[in-house]
Copies of this chain bind each other. A is one copy, B any other.
Amino acid sequence: MTTPDAVVNLAHKLSQFNELWTQKKVADLNDYEVKLAKLKGEFVWHTHEDTDELFLVISGRLTIRLRDGDVTLETGELFVVPRGIEHCPVAEEETAILLLEPAGVLNTGDAGGPLTRAAETLD
């Protein structure tokens, strides 16, 4: 558990998958999960009623649409979507992000639908 193998190299982890809009868990922090995802295009509007959600852009640019305006994150920027706030991630170019939230939170929140995916663990 405390071996160098547990070091997470973000670039290497991102090189291990190509699917879009699928969250890949790379670390646990207490009952939270650190996840990576690649995004391109527009996701679905959804809400996480019980938790805030942290987005950190590793490469590319992410717009998080909110009902009262857009927030745009460049590489190296982070933003926390507060619990209960409806949001819709959009990326014009392929964008890589780090997500942080409690374990078990689904990507589509309350919205469900065909894009719903449980997070997968990236070895």
Contact = CB atoms under 8 A, between A and B. Distances in A.
Contacts of A29: 52-54, 80, 100-101
Contact of A66 (B2, B66, B76): B2
Interface stretch (A8-16, A38-46, A108-116): A8-16
A9 B68 contact: no
- Chain A interface size, as a band, is 35 or more
A46 to B, nearest CB: 15
Q: How many copies does the complex hold?
A: 2
B82 A7 contact: no
A16 B14 CA distance: 30
A32 interface: yes
Interface of A: 1-4, 6-11, 26-30, 32, 34, 51-54, 66, 68-69, 71-74, 76-83, 85, 100-102
B8 A69 contact: no
B4 A71 contact: yes
Given A51-B30, A54-B29, A102-B30, A80 B4 contact: no
Contact of A54 (B7, B34, B83): B34
A105 to B, nearest CB: 11
